[in-house]
Chains A and B, each alone.
Chain A
């Protein structure tokens, strides 16, 4: 496709020139960007400190106040700790008399339960019978 006069006229219009100072600025940006990409950030104590300082620096009084409150909470908690020994640790082993008494009570309880069971065994139980036999009983 051969361009006509009009197209040639258009193509002869010169385009605006790129500002010369952009070259240095853009190439510098490229260098910085490529170096940042090649050197991934390593974990160093100084990095940690700088990161912490960026967190704490904006409101140092607020962070110091928060730390003081926590110290106070720990101090109060420590001072109010219960130092009395546990009751179970304090109790002495039972004496032989107490053991004999307990065994006697256990024996009596067993006897009472046994008597109750014997009485229950004596109670006549209702046994289901045919209706005809029930009528006979009533007649007699």
Chain B
């Protein structure tokens, strides 16, 4: 079986699946949900190749699809509060396991602190720090203004700083 002409889904996967996975995992904190959402996005692209026609920057566009899919999942699942409660009990860290004990503690704390951020701030912080997108690209991906993206980032970083200050100072 071959893909429809004009759409290289394998190239799209190889170039974008990793950052999409990280973004979705930071959103859902669940491996199975992340896999479902990732598959849903790529199937959508495979079924409707014209979605990418005229798209200049693929990454922000795909992030937008991922963000919408994640929001839809949250709505289907129920209230955001319930999901947050689940985070505390069985959340999967979006960070790679660390060998160094201090680094492990820091990553665990960071994962928890990120989970406590409001979704809109968490999305911007993630895309800026780990997605390496500019505020303009984040604004395009999340359908907000660049100023809103910058302010959400600033609020999110300040909360993380307050939360992680003790451990960060200790590690310096």
Contacts and interface: CB of A to CB of B under 8 A. Distances in A.
Tell whether A and B belong to one assembly: yes
Interface of A: 1, 6-7, 9-11, 13-19, 22-23, 25-27, 29-35, 37-38
Contacts of B45: 30
Contacts of A29: 39, 42-43
Interface string B1-38: 11110000110011001100110010000010001001
Given A18-B17, A34-B3, A7 B157 contact: yes
A133 B62 CA distance: 115
Given A6-B161, A18-B18, A23-B13, A33 B129 contact: no
Contact of B2 (A15, A22, A31): A31
Interface residues of B, number: 38
B21 A18 contact: yes
Contacts of A33: 43, 46-47
Given A26-B13, A26-B39, A11 B93 contact: no
Given A9-B168, A11-B130, A26 B96 contact: no
A16 B35 CA distance: 13
B130 to A, nearest CB: 6
Given A6-B160, A14-B96, A34-B4, 6 more contacts: A15-B22, A18-B17, A26-B17, A30-B43, A31-B2, A35-B1
8 tightest Cβ-Cβ pairs between the two chains A and B: A30-B46, A15-B22, A18-B21, A34-B46, A14-B96, A11-B129, A31-B1, A33-B43
Interface of B: 1-4, 9-10, 13-14, 17-18, 21-22, 25, 31, 35, 38-39, 42-43, 45-47, 92-96, 106-107, 110, 129-130, 150, 157, 160-161, 164, 168
B25 A16 contact: yes
A38 B160 CA distance: 48
A11 B43 CA distance: 30
Nearest to B172: A5
A1 to B, nearest CB: 7
